[in-house]
Amino acid sequence: ADFGFNEHHQNEVINYMRFARSKRALRLKTVDSCFQDLKDSRLMEETYTVDEVSDMLDGLQVLVRGEVEMELINTAHTNVLLLRQLFSQAEKFYLRLQTDISELEN
């Protein structure tokens, strides 16, 4: 992929994308394990009442929500640390970098 940067910056972006992909894959495995744990620990009977199924799904929702929330928080912190590194380097050369948050929505 060509991002319109010099080769060094292009490689930095690619390395960050690889890092983000590996973190995402790890979190998805964690979410998968939430479902597998439910299957292994709670699905012992042939039939369940509506209340039992509802309880199982409520518990699963809490686990998955917690995992997703933790990943979103970690991603935000990672992005802030990355911005901090970039801004610190820029300030050494008296540069003021600007961001366009509206581009992030696309």
pLDDT tens digits for range 67-98: 999 999 999 999 999 999 999 999 999 999 99
Q: What is the pLDDT of residue 51?
A: 97
Q: How confident is the model at residue 4 (pLDDT cuts 50, 70, 90)?
A: confident
What does the pLDDT average to over 49-66? 97
| Interatomic CA distance for residues 95 and 73, integer angstroms | 29
Q: What is the pLDDT of residue 97?
A: 93
Q: What mean pLDDT is reported for the chain? A: 94
| Interatomic CA distance for residues 27 and 22, integer angstroms | 9
Phi, psi of 44 (to 5 degrees): -110, -25
Sign of the CA dihedral with 74 first, then 75, 80, and 81 last: positive
Instruction: Judge whether residue 26 has pLDDT over 80.
Output: yes
How would DSSP label each residue in the chain?
A: ---SS-HHHHHHHHHHHHHHHHHHHHHHHHHHHHHHHHHHHH--SS---HHHHHHHHHHHHHHHHHHHHHHHHHHHHHHHHHHHHHHHHHHHTT------HHHHT-
Q: How confident is the model at residue 3 (pLDDT cuts 50, 70, 90)?
A: confident
Query: What would the two tokens of residue 91 be?
Result: 């300030």
Q: What is the pLDDT of residue 29?
A: 97
